[in-house]
Structure 1
Amino acid sequence: MRTERFAGHRRAYGPLMTVIPTGRSAPLPAPRPYATAPSTAPAPPPGGAARPVVSELRLGSFASHRRTVVPLGPFTLLTGASGSGKSTALCGYEALARLAAGDPLEEVFSDPAAWVPERSGADAQGRRGFRLGCTVDGPAGPVTLEVAVQAEPVLRVVGERLSRRGERLLDTALRDPRRSVVQAAWHTAGTVAVTRAPFPDDRLATALLPLRLAGTTEGELRVLAAAEQVVVALRSAFACDPLPRGMRGAVPVGEGRLTSSCDNLADVLHRTHSQCAQRHARLVATADAGCAGPVTGLGVDCRADGTVLARVVRGPGHSTPLGRLGDGELRYLALALVLLTGPHVLVVEPAAEVPAAMQALTILADGFDRSMDARQTRELLALAASICAGGHMRVLGTVTEATAEAARATSGVSVVDLTP
């Protein structure tokens, strides 16, 4: 393979795609991490975290981000000036999560050009793209994933790298632009040191490896362990942005699984009231602490048309329809419900083949404090920190600077300022 053939990739995608004559990829540049407040969360046990978790998000060349590194703890909040890329960082995480779940590129990036850095120039063939990645801690140790995506003229994965402590486990590269495949090479340590095979260029190869490898050699077992660790950590994510206007009216009775917009809040309250008494009681206590006026219960009216309408119980014989609550109260209540439930009550598909004790669900909450007053924000911060300390749930959200100040004073919260 000749270096000149991929000269355009160096400009469009960065050093991940640089190939030197020896066949080894050139090293990635050392990214510049943003400052982060120290986390008070307990350190992982020796030998790696018990549950696979994403410990670092990297946006090497993604929308407004250049070489951005975001360290992630159990409860991480992003702050910064408007336009600093807080929401974009969450979009990057969600994109990796969807790719790890097996979603095709065209579904994950419906408008791929929007994620190409604004001043990114095209190569001689008119190709432009973006790059992102992460580090996942777990039983296999720290595993890094880097992905380079061509956005124009054709959306495709053009490079992917999976490594562990400097050991290259998987590399993919686009060899023939006329074909919809990339050439993948992974470590086997058997009679053949490296195995090569074509993979589709519209999927994450790391997510496909467990379906392709038999695990017959020590090397393949290491590759499988690393790939499965990344997939389990990334796919266990729930993007949540409660929309108050959708929570005010009656909704049909369904499965009782909360959607990302929380527009079926009444249906979920109907389920938790009858099936999750302890969590429902804690939700009532949380609502009482953050909503105006006393809250002694959260109930629903079952209507003749098969719908349910949520109500806030104020005391004996008195209740308020949920629709009368303010936007801040509704978002506060919805996020509290997300934190107090789990993957079986949220519209998220955890890895069924992995025990629940080995998984950690990550909540992506853009505008974690949106529309809330100081009291609601304070209560929600304390609740999230308490839940995240248990290890089975993590939170990555965006907040205003005012909330960031309160978060810095809250035990168990890490604050990352994305202001350049």
Structure 2
Amino acid sequence: MPRPVVTELRLSAYGGRRGATYPLGPVTLFTGPSGSGKSTVLGAYEALARLGAGDPLAEVFPDPAAHVPESARPDSQGRRGFRIGCTVDGPAGPVRLDLAVQAEPELRIVGERLTRHGRTLLTTALRDPGRSTVQAAWLTAGTTPVTRAPLPDDLLGTALLPLRVAGATEGQREVLAAAEQAVVGLRSLFPCGPVPDRMRAPVLPGEGRLLRDCGNLAEVLHRTHNACPRRHQRFAAVAGAGCAGPVTGVGVQRLPDGTVRALLARGTRPATPLGRLGDGELRYLALALTLLTGPGVLAMDRIAEVPDAMQCLTLLTDDLDRGLDARQTAALLALTTAIAADGHIRLVGSAGAEAAAQARRTEGVTVVDLTP
């Protein structure tokens, strides 16, 4: 059975994008010159994922006016906003989610639509600006064709449906299946932005879940070294493809103060602490480790009610090739496509021109050029 995955991102009116639709494959890289909108596209995806996880609108968009297209003119009541959406494929087929957000004069959701095979399953609309709710209507297909109820105007309605719909009729079951697929597809996202300077110092061992900035890389390697030896051995092999000099393994050393640090084994030569590696090598190792781990090792909100076998993790990373040389980029792309081919992990990111050229020569990578 296919796992829910986001296969299309729509920026109908968001930042500098209007009427833009981007297909997302197992490995998708956005490229283009500075200012072309790469970070804007990735930011829209992360925003939808956070809304799907139940985050309030104000936390997801702390500066909402920044996402309103410059050409957007306020209406007679001074209202301006933006529109984004996505398609999530899975067992229920392609499910479309479209969202309209008012940014000014106050932040609120003013419209949401969930559709499947052209059939509208959920709509919301702002009926009374004086209330902090939207009027929602979802398919019932029973004695009453639709069910109507108010929903908060600061939360994604689709994410609330599993708590509101009983599933007593065929229509309600269709709504539940589509909503749950959309939520699972969106929530299965891990934004990864390795920061080398935060990865150099020894850290205290703990839960061993990799943070977004990968600052606790040594802690996670301590966990995989002890609990996942097979995965750790594969990581050691991958490390050798992206680090200078001979690499015969990856070890972890516990220091007298109780902290741990990671080491690259060099055969008969002294081991090299990861703190001595260059920025490119550290970013390469962090991204490789992220690809080789699953939701249980990443610091993300796991969907406990959905078995891991039914989820497909999507890694989101801006500037994939930052600090990487051509050899490291090629090794990382090869690892990414090999892992994505298994259907458990996808990657959406951005890259510079040279990395994009390499990606175009790599089977299994979709490159989207945002050059104006």
Q: How high is the TM-score relative to the length of structure 1?
A: 0.87
- Measure, in 2, the Cα distance between the counterparts of 1:119 and 1:170: 30
- Whether 2:294 is the aligned partner of 1:342: answer yes
Q: Which residue of 2 is the match for residue 104 of structure 1?
A: 56
The one-character-per-residue Cα deviations of 1:194-239 (angstroms, maximum 9, x if unpaired) are 1100000000000000000000010001111100000000001000
Aligned to 2:156: 204
Q: Which residue does the alignment assign to 2:371?
A: 419
The CA distance in 2 between the partners of 1:253 and 1:110, in whole Å, is 33
3-state SS of the aligned residue for 1:90? Answer: helix
User: Is 2:37 the counterpart of 1:85?
Assistant: yes
Cα distance in 2 for residues equivalent to 1:105 and 1:250: 37
The match for 1:67 is 19
User: Is 1:235 the counterpart of 2:187 in the alignment?
Assistant: yes
Q: Look up the match of 2:321.
A: 369
| Counterpart in the other structure of 1:135 | 87
Match of 2:233 in 1: 281
> 1: CA distance between counterparts of 2:227 and 2:178?
37
- Among 259, 274, 278, the alignment partner of 2:211 is 259
User: Which of the residues 300, 303, 306 maps onto 2:252?
Assistant: 300
In structure 2, distance between residues paired with 1:359 and 1:411:
24
Superposition deviation, residue 317 in structure 1: 5.7
1:186 aligns with 2:116: no
Q: Could you give the per-residue CA deviations for residues 22-68 of structure 1, whole angstroms, max 9, x where no partner exists?
A: xxxxxxxxxxxxxxxxxxxxxxxxxxx61111110001111111111
Percent of aligned pairs with the same amino acid? 66
User: Which of residues 49, 55, 60 is equivalent to 2:7?
Assistant: 55
Please give the alpha-carbon distance, in whole angstroms, between the structure 2 residues aligned to 1:160 and 1:231. Answer: 14
Letter in 1 for 2:278: G
Task: Give, in whole Å, the separation in 2 of the partners of 1:112 and 1:305.
Answer: 45
- Indicate the larger mover: 227-236 or 295-304: 295-304
Quote the offset at 1:116 in angstroms. 1.1
Q: Distance in 2 between matches of 1:290 and 1:356?
A: 29
CA deviation vs aligned residue, 1:91-150 (integer Å, no higher than 9, x gap): 100000000000100111111111111222111111111110001111111110000111
Q: Tell me which of 384, 402, 405 is aligned to 2:357.
A: 405
Q: Deviation above 6 Å: which 4+ runs of structure 1?
A: none
Name the TM-score, length of structure 2 as normaliser.
Answer: 0.98
Match of 2:155, as an amino acid? R
Q: Return the offset for 1:305.
A: 2.2
What CA distance in whole angstroms lies between the structure 2 residues aligned with 1:93 and 1:293? 38
Tell me the distance in 2 between the aligned counterparts of 1:102 and 1:51. Answer: 21
The equivalent residue for 2:344 is 392
Cα deviations by residue, 1:284-343 (Å, 9 ceiling, x for unpaired): 111111111111121222123221122111123611111111110000000000000110
1:365-416 CA-partner distances (Å, limit 9, x unpaired): 1111110000000000000000000001100010111111111111111111
Aligned partner letter, 2:38 = K
Paired residue secondary structure (1:172):
strand
Q: Pick from 181, 188, 198: which aligns with 1:246?
A: 198
Give the CA RMSD over aligned residues: 1.0
Structure 1 residue 291 corresponds to structure 2 residue 213: no
How far apart, CA to CA, are the structure 1 residues paired with 2:182 and 2:127? 25
Task: Say if 2:275 is the partner of 1:323.
Answer: yes
- Specify the alignment match of 1:117 in structure 2: 69
| Runs of 5+ consecutive residues of structure 1 not aligned to the other structure | 1-48
5+ long unaligned stretches in structure 2: none
Q: Distance in 1 between matches of 2:97 and 2:158?
A: 9
Could you tell me how far apart the structure 2 residues matched to 1:212 and 1:252 are?
43
**The residue matched to 1:131 in structure 2 has which SS?**
strand
